[in-house]
Amino acid sequence: MSTPQTNHADQIKKSSKAWHRTLFGLCVFVAVGALFGGGMGVLDPHSTLMGAELIVPELQKAPLVGQHIDSLLIPASTLLLFVFIPQTVASLLLFKKHPAQYYAAIICGTLLAVFTITEIALIPNPLSVLYLCFALFEITTAIICQRRTTQRQ
């Protein structure tokens, strides 16, 4: 017969697994999105499919970096470097259940937040706001997972 204490511990364990799966899924989703967006921008930086004719003029108005941007190559490369690669690493760490998995996810969420805040400042769009929400959710979920892991130990 299980005691109420054992039941509570089982519920926490199941809940922790659900949070872990959610975080893993979010990291994979963001990584795939960054691979698609960054990859398209690197492979065809003047593409009308990606909206280069609308985005590049807005980026050229930006202080400090504007004069150096004539295509989507630099923004796409930045997306791959600061979002795709870290999110992929965090996904792998979460999959392998590495001890640093949640710290990696917190760092990735922070990088994504900085990237999207910068993007919102340069070219405001609803998709960037959605990804900022993903970043905040990633950070929060990673903190919850980390705390639950330390509570169980």
Q: What is the pLDDT of residues 67-99, one digit of tens each?
A: 777 778 888 899 999 999 999 999 999 999 999
Looking at per-residue pLDDT, the higher value among 9 and 103 belongs to 103
Whether residue 43 is contained in a domain is answered as: yes
Whether residue 40 is contained in a domain is answered as: yes
Instruction: Classify residue 20 as exposed, middle or buried by CB count within 10 Å of its CB (0-12, 13-18, 19+).
Output: buried
- 122 is in which domain, residue-wise? 16-152
Q: What's the number of domains the chain is made of?
A: 1
Whether residue 50 is contained in a domain is answered as: yes
Whether residue 78 is contained in a domain is answered as: yes
Q: Which phi and psi (to 5°) does residue 69 adopt?
A: -105, 120
Task: At 131, list the tokens.
Answer: 């990804």
Whether residue 116 is contained in a domain is answered as: yes
This prediction has a pTM of 0.85
Whether residue 136 is contained in a domain is answered as: yes
Whether residue 58 is contained in a domain is answered as: yes
Q: What is the pLDDT of residues 22-62, one digit of tens each?
A: 999 999 999 999 999 999 888 888 777 666 677 777 777 77
- What's the one-letter identity of residue 9? A
Spatial neighbors of 58 by CB under 8 A, at least 6 apart, are 122, 123
Whether residue 96 is contained in a domain is answered as: yes
